[in-house]
Chain A
Amino acid sequence: MRFSFAVCSIALLCGFALAAQAQDLSSFEKRVTTKVLPNGLTLIVCERPEAPVFSYFTIVDAGDANDPGGQSGIAHMFEHLAFKGTKDIGTTDYAAEKVALDKVEEAYAAYDTEYRKRVGRDEQKLKTLHAAFEQAQGEAQKFVIPNQFTEIAESNGATGLNAQTSLDDTQYYWSMPSNRLQLWAYMESDRIANPVPREFYKERDVVMEERRMRTDSNPIGKMVEQFLAAAYVAHPYHRPGVGWMSELSQITATEAAAFHQKYYVPANMVIAVAGDVKAEETMPVLEKYFGAIPAGPKPEEMSTIEPPQVAEKSVVLKAATQPLYIEGYHKPDYRDPDDAVYDAIQDIFSNGRTSRLYRSLVRDQQVAAEAEGFSGFPDVKYPGLFAFFAAPNPGHTPEEMRTAIHKEIDKLKTTDVTDDELAMFKTRARADLLRGLGDNQGLAEQLAIYQLRYGDWRELFNQLKKIDAVTKADIRRVANKTFVETNRTYAMVEFQPPAGPPAQQQSQGGAQ
């Protein structure tokens, strides 16, 4: 593959065991222990003593779909803050630092108030206020031990240390030698309970660079942002996770603290540990540290439901890059009884060289370099899209992608898939689940996600029943219900030579 659709790195997981008795649900019942602490936090411990290491996965049921109005990107901004240390870690004197940080907020608020004035903004005053804000930051900086939180983790052998924020949730994870379990429990519980908005405004600059990298300076990133903004009118899935630049650039530490207060409550999180750990020894350690996080009310669920789409929508971007095409259809969320049917369609359309889109668009017609369809975009907690993406071959257009994809969709609506295709989907789903069980980080992640989303990690294994129940008639029914013109949004990039002085990336052209 010469290039790939970066937005869509899909972790395939589902179903369960074909063979090894040691890897079915009943064996996991023996190896997995869960506990809900009095403060509402759910803990999972999975014993896998292959090597003296463990991995953890913390999932918070709050992502950028939960960003308050005017603060797009704040869930992600908070995730960055969670690496800045705590009241104990990352400071030379927290009591004094707290006073200095409060002054930073006051100074920023004064600056921000002037900055946002629509009428009568005093530029000289703005300059003075900004200088005062910079000075306050300088004062607070004197107490900072930069990156001490990650430094302690890494000096103690943490690997794969990272975090991600999606529209649905926020995830923190790393792996460590198993003799550092207590140290980890201390650090993780401390940063959840006691994050400090240290170096907040410099980190905001860093996140703005992240937006420039992933979205503004990337052709697929730009297209996907416009595509989702067009596809959703009411639901926050229409916003980019990283945030609109105007809002991102004005987020405050005070707003981030309010987001933390509301969403980082124990009842809104699951933490899973997998590896060389024994539940009876580990659970008391976890209880000691995580049980101390103060309880809080579970945040209310979102009221917004995306209204039915009434007409096809489109965005056509002209840019000096090679053409791209994406289209999507609204579908229900992951709890829908037909969710496994969408998975079947995804598998049959996109999984490998036997898939319909590969064989039709790439192998036979040779109009596309890459083509795939995928369920649950941009995320899964709320009704997402079933989307199709294609990159045209040289000399072919986005319109040809559209036509070719629609032809495959029509076939799915009018003709049953074959027995072989359906059986292949079910077999691969089982094997993929099984393959994922041999890795601590993957295990911790899957157990935590299923516990959060279904209230029971066993659903990871029970999904296979739903997958096995999918019929050919289901696929036709769901295709006919979903893939209709008025439910469709598409976006494309069409090539247009750059304006102004000729850029170097242009070709000399013309080998026709």
Chain B
Amino acid sequence: MIRKIRHSHLAAMLFVPLAVVAQAPAQQAQPWKQIPIPPLRSFHPEPPKRIVLKNGLVILLEEDHELPFINGFIEMRGGSRDEPAAKTGLVSLYSDAWRTSGTAKENGDQLDDLLEAKAAKVETGGDVDSTSVSWSCLTKDEDQVFGIAVDLLEHPVFRQEKLMLAKQQAAAGIVRRNDDAGEIAAREAAKLVYGPNSPYTRQAELSTIKAVTLDDLKQWHDKTIVPNNMIIGIAGDFDAAAMEKTLRDAFEGLPRGNNWPKPAGEFPGPKPGVYFVDKSDVNQSNVYIVGMGTLRNNPDYFALSVMNEIFGGGFGSRLFQDVRTKQGLAYAVGGGYGASYDHPGMFHVVAATKSASTVKATQAMLSQIGELKTKPFTEDELKRAKDQVLNSFIFNYDSKDKVLAEAARLEFYGYPTDFLDKYHDSVEHVTVADLERVAKKYIDPSKLAVLVVGNQQEFGTPLTELGLGAPHPVDITIPGAPQQGPEGNQGEQ
């Protein structure tokens, strides 16, 4: 049997594309322009069947009979941004220990044996704004596997030894978090934007995971397993009417609870300047330039999306063309004005470059950001950005799984169900004037922070050459981490 172990050397960091390209003069043949492109056959996948139970539970069902599998998820509102700061890591520990602990009927190890023997999965997860139970199985095993998922939802038994195991693994992650320069840079860049103590960026520490108790997990569970805060999505080889009945039988009895509060918070953005982490064992710098982004319900989101394509989207983007193709300064380069569903995303430009070209690459990135406001967008750039978005648009819904996932996302964040159609139409109508307007309104180089994680001794040109003041060292010390050695187990006593 062949499994490819991918020692992969990707041709590019894939973000998304668009080009700044000179028009070819007439003497060079352009055979591709003669190739006919017939109209694409019309394709409108059925949206999922949407059912709302009296207790507020939303169900989305998408039949797909190509393969004999059923895949489902139950998403609950509430995630790590809602956990107490002193117990940061709670949701992560909860979502680990939930599944590994199991139910009153079968403990987690027994569930593992039972499910794996059927090549089936039931897993629990935790994210910044949600937790979940998901399952995947052959059609013939659906009754039993779905039964386990429901049992896990309604009758979990959180076990001390599994919480300890989850803490052990979390501790291993914490003490290793400074081993990879790229990981340090991504984490610290987000902290510069949202603040070190923000619910979106604060780090689990050895002390905060130690503070989490079995009771905390139970309380979190009771607080979040509330039907009016839950969405169920199922895709696969089933009959929707029969599945609806099964779900009604399983969940109609759940009592309604309090609605989960909408996210709040202050988002002032970074304190401008240069920030720096010295890492003596690397020969490449990770550079981030970051600022505050926006929300997807911003009416300018569509124009910003097109601007992103032109700026940092892919092989043809301004950033890629300049920093990688023209200057050869980086393999990985990209960025854009980020947008999240219910809180501001992050503006970021990122590249990894050899230590000696740290300042040069950073200057190139800053200059590309500045040019968003000074280098006029062209009709040519606009057309290519639109072509890319619109011609690949079908890949947003070319499988039933994608159709279901998109519908669930919009449901979860309270967006209109036709958001994708609106996105398509709005992108079609974006003009060069729109691009100029949003670039002027949202891009402000004076509000950005620059973060460099690299080997200072090899820089050559000092970071002060950036003209953004003295670099601020960032302390990435891991509080309470042991010096590595066989001193004993630090995870949890």
Contact = CB atoms under 8 A, between A and B. Distances in A.
Contact of B483 (A205, A323, A354, A497): A497
A438 B67 contact: yes
Contacts of B176: 2-3, 321-322, 369, 391
Interface string A41-60: 00000000011110000000
Contacts of A179: 37-40
A429 B18 CA distance: 41
A434 B140 CA distance: 14
Contact of A8 (B5, B29, B487, B490): B5
Contact of A428 (B18, B116, B474): B116
Contacts of B326: 146, 202
A342 to B, nearest CB: 9
A81 B37 CA distance: 27
A89 interface: yes
B22 interface: yes
A95 to B, nearest CB: 9
Contacts of B118: 427
Given A369-B173, A394-B481, A510-B483, A11 B1 contact: no
Contacts of A162: 10-12, 14
A106 to B, nearest CB: 21
A394 B3 contact: no
Nearest to A216: B283
A423 B116 CA distance: 10
Interface string A302-345: 00000000000000000111110000000000100001100100
A10 B473 CA distance: 39
Nearest to A343: B1
B489 A393 contact: yes
Contacts of B277: 504-505
A207 B277 CA distance: 25
B197 interface: no
Interface in A126-170: 145-148, 150-152, 154-167
B112 interface: yes
A495 B485 contact: yes
Interface in B36-70: 36-41, 43, 45, 66-69
A511 B14 contact: no
A177 B482 contact: no
B219 interface: no
A507 B117 CA distance: 44
A213 B117 contact: no
A485 interface: no
B255 interface: no
Contact of A51 (B8, B43, B331): B43
B7 A507 contact: no
Interface in A419-458: 420, 423-424, 427-432, 434-435, 437-439, 449-450, 453
B181 interface: yes
Given A352-B112, A396-B486, A145 B24 contact: yes
Interface in B355-412: 384, 387-388, 390-395, 397-399
B186 interface: no
Contacts, number: 395
B119 interface: yes
B293 interface: no
Contact of B113 (A51, A217, A354): A354
Interface string B449-493: 000000000000000000000000111111111111111111100
Contacts of B31: 88, 186
Interface stretch (A12-20, A28-36, A107-115, A409-417): A12-20
A203 interface: yes
Contacts of A178: 40-41
Contact of A380 (B3, B172, B387): B3
Nearest to B388: A154
Contact of B119 (A150, A175, A431, A508): A431
B284 A213 contact: yes
A492 interface: no
A489 interface: no
A402 to B, nearest CB: 14
A183 B324 CA distance: 27
Q: Which of B2, B169, B331, B474 has the most CB of A within 10 A?
A: B2
Contacts of B36: 182
Contacts of B476: 504-505
A380 B2 contact: yes
Contact of B11 (A83, A92, A363): A83
A424 to B, nearest CB: 5
A500 interface: yes
A7 B7 contact: yes
A92 B24 contact: yes
Given A179-B38, A219-B179, A374-B5, A369 B328 contact: no
A209 B178 contact: no
Contacts of B478: 507
Interface string B1-35: 11111111111101001110110110111111001
Contact of B395 (A89, A175, A351, A353): A175
A505 B178 contact: yes
B139 interface: yes
Given A145-B21, A164-B6, A208 B488 contact: no
Nearest to B136: A435
B165 interface: yes
B288 interface: no
Given A334-B2, A437-B67, A209 B284 contact: yes
A397 interface: yes
A244 interface: no
B27 A93 contact: yes
A323 B483 CA distance: 11
A431 B328 CA distance: 44
A376 interface: yes
Interface stretch (B298-306, B315-323, B336-344): B315-323
Nearest to B137: A431
A379 interface: yes
Given A14-B1, A212-B354, A511-B482, A19 B138 contact: yes
B68 to A, nearest CB: 4
A166 B481 CA distance: 38
Contacts of B17: 150-151, 154-155
A322 B484 contact: yes
A210 interface: yes
Nearest to A141: B326
A20 B40 contact: no
Given A158-B392, A219-B180, A500-B280, A507 B172 contact: no
A510 B485 CA distance: 11
A180 B10 CA distance: 24
Q: 10 closest Cβ contacts across the A-B interface?
A: A2-B173, A157-B391, A495-B484, A205-B328, A431-B119, A369-B172, A507-B481, A150-B315, A217-B282, A154-B17
11 contacts: A88-B29, A147-B316, A147-B321, A148-B19, A152-B32, A201-B328, A212-B283, A213-B182, A213-B331, A351-B116, A453-B2
Interface of B: 1-12, 14, 17-19, 21-22, 24-25, 27-32, 35-41, 43, 45, 66-69, 100, 108-109, 112-113, 116-119, 138-140, 165, 168-176, 178-182, 184, 206, 237, 277-284, 314-316, 320-321, 324-332, 352-354, 384, 387-388, 390-395, 397-399, 473-491
Interface of A: 1-3, 7-14, 18-20, 22-23, 50-53, 76, 79-80, 82-83, 88-89, 91-94, 145-148, 150-152, 154-167, 175, 177-180, 182-183, 186-187, 199, 201-210, 212-214, 216-219, 241-242, 276, 319-323, 334, 339-340, 343, 351-354, 362-363, 366, 369-370, 374-380, 391, 393-397, 420, 423-424, 427-432, 434-435, 437-439, 449-450, 453, 463, 466-467, 495, 497-498, 500, 503-512
Given A161-B14, A366-B491, A395-B489, 15 more contacts: A10-B3, A147-B19, A154-B17, A156-B37, A177-B391, A202-B327, A212-B283, A214-B9, A217-B181, A379-B4, A396-B486, A505-B178, A507-B479, A508-B479, A511-B481
